[in-house]
Amino acid sequence: MFSGIRDENNNTYNPKIVRIGLKAHHSVKAVSMDYLIQQKLSGVASDGGRRGAGEYDRIRASLLDEAAIVFSTLSFSGSAIFTRMTRAFDVVIIDEAAQAVEPATLVPLVHGCRQVFLVGDPVQLPATVISKTAQNLGYRTSLFQRFQAAGFPVQMLKIQYRMHPEISVFPSKEFYEGILEDGEGLNKKRPWHSYSCFGPFCFFDVDGVESQLSGSGSTVNEDEVGFITLLYHQLAMRYPELKSSSQVAVISPYRGQVKLLKDHFRSTFGDQSKEVIDVNTVDGFQGREKELVIFSCVRCNKEQNIGFVSDFRRMNVAITRARSAVLVIGSASTLKKDKHWTNLVESAKERNRYFKVRWLLSFF
C-alpha cells in the first residue's frame, strides 16, 4: 500500500494513511499515529509553539480527519480518539472477521458508516474464548458466521496467492470443496525441493512418547523436538539462505511444546536462533506466513487421544502458513483416529511424501 493503490481507472495514487495502536512494527512506523504526532509537534516547537496536551489532541484529531484510510484493531477503534472525529467512515472493512466475537465486531460500527465488509475464513480458527459457559452459550460465534448461517450471501475468494500448489491441493480438497485456485508463479521450485524430504508437502511419521510438561500440564513430545532440531539443522546446513532472515517457522498446538522447542533451539543453535527461527503456537500464527513451516503435532499414545489437534480449523491454519514447504511431524498411528488426519497421511503417501522415521540420528 505504501507504493500506491489503483483506482477504478487503474491509475495509481497514494492515499493518506494513519495507523492507530500500540507497538507499531518498523515497517509501518511512518504512518503510525504517535510518529505522525511527533513529526507535527517538532514543527510546532521549531516555530516557538507549545507542546501542551490540547495541542496533542488537536493534532491527533486533525490527522484522523485528514486520513483517507485508518488502520486499527477492533478494540482500539472504541477508544476516545475516534469520538473527536468530525465525520463518519464511508466504509468499514473488518479483516479476520471470522476470528472475532460478535460484540468486538460491533465496536467500529458505532462511529457510523455506509458500508461494512466482513472478510474472514470460517474454516479457520474462531475467537479464543476461555470460559466454557460462554462457549456453550455461543459467545464464540462471530457475526460473520451468524450472517452465513442465516443464509446471507457470502462471496468466496477462490484464488490463493501464498502456497505452492502441492501444499494447497490438500486443504482445497479437504476444507474448501476443491474450489481453490492457485495464483500465477506459485509453483516455482526452491533449492530445497530437490531433496525429497524437503518437498512442498511432507509428513514425517515419528512414533515418540508424549508427556506432560512439569508445572504447566501442557502436552509435549521430546522425540518430535529432537527430530525437528535435526531437521532444521539439515535444512540450514544444506540451504544457508534460510538462515539469512526469518524464513522458517516451527509451530505446534501446545504451549508446552513451543517452550520446549525454544529452549532446545537456544541450547543447540545459540541465542541468535530466535532471530532466524519463529517458534509459535498454531493459534498465535494465524494470519501469518513463512517460506517454510515445520508443524509439530505432539500427540502420540495408544489410546489415539489427540485432544484439540482434532480441530480441523486448527489443522487448516497449520498447514496453510507456508509459501514453499510445509513439513508435518506426527504419529500416524495416533492421528489416524481422526478422518481429516487420515486423509492427510494418505495424501502424503499417494504423493510419495510420507517418511517413516525409525532412527532419528540415521534418518538423513
- Other C-beta atoms closer than 10 Å to the C-beta of 288 total 13
pLDDT one-digit tens code per residue, 180-205: 999 999 999 999 999 989 999 999 99
Name the percent of the chain lying above pLDDT 90. Answer: 71
Nearest to 318 by CA among 287, 345, 351: 287
5-149: CATH superfamily: P-loop containing nucleotide triphosphate hydrolases (3.40.50.300)
- Statement: residue 50 has pLDDT above 90: no
Task: Please name which of 287, 295, 197 lies closest in space to residue 250, comparing C-alpha atoms.
Answer: 295
**What global pTM score does this model have?**
0.88
Question: Nine-digit cell at 135?
Answer: 462457549
Tell me whether the CATH fold assigned to 5-149 matches the one assigned to 159-362: yes
Over the stretch 58-102, which tens digit does the pLDDT of each residue have? 888 889 889 999 999 999 999 888 887 878 899 999 999 999 999
Of the pLDDT bands very low, low, confident and very high (cuts 50, 70, 90), residue 11 is confident
DSSP string over 148-184: HHTT-------EESSS-HHHHHHHHHHHSTT--EEPT
The Cα–Cα gap between 338 and 203 comes to 16
Confidence band, pLDDT 50/70/90 cuts, at residue 125: very high
Judged against a pLDDT cut of 80, whether residue 361 lies above it is answered with: no
- As given in the structure block, the three cell numbers for residue 349 are 503417501
Domain ranges of the chain: 5-149, 159-362
Average pLDDT over residues 258-265: 96
pLDDT bracket for residue 44 (50, 70, 90): low
CATH top-level class of 159-362:
alpha beta
Average confidence score pLDDT of the chain = 91
Give 282-331 pLDDT, tens digit per residue.
Answer: 999 999 999 999 999 999 999 999 998 999 999 999 999 999 999 999 99
Does position 48 have pLDDT exceeding 60, yes or no? no
Identify which of 211, 239, 237, 235 has the alpha carbon closest to the alpha carbon of residue 224. Answer: 211
pLDDT at 206: 96
Cα dihedral value 278, 280, 283, 289, nearest 10: 10
| Residues 6+ positions from 221 with CB-CB distance below 8 Å | 208, 209, 210, 211, 257, 296, 298, 299, 300
Cell numbers that stand for 213 in this block: 510438561
**Cα Dmax for the chain:** 75
Exposure of 203 in the CB half-sphere (CA atoms within 13 A): 25
C-alpha cell at 121: 475464513
Type of residue numbered 128 = T
Sign of CA dihedral 95, 99, 104, 105: positive
Single-letter amino acid, residue 191: P
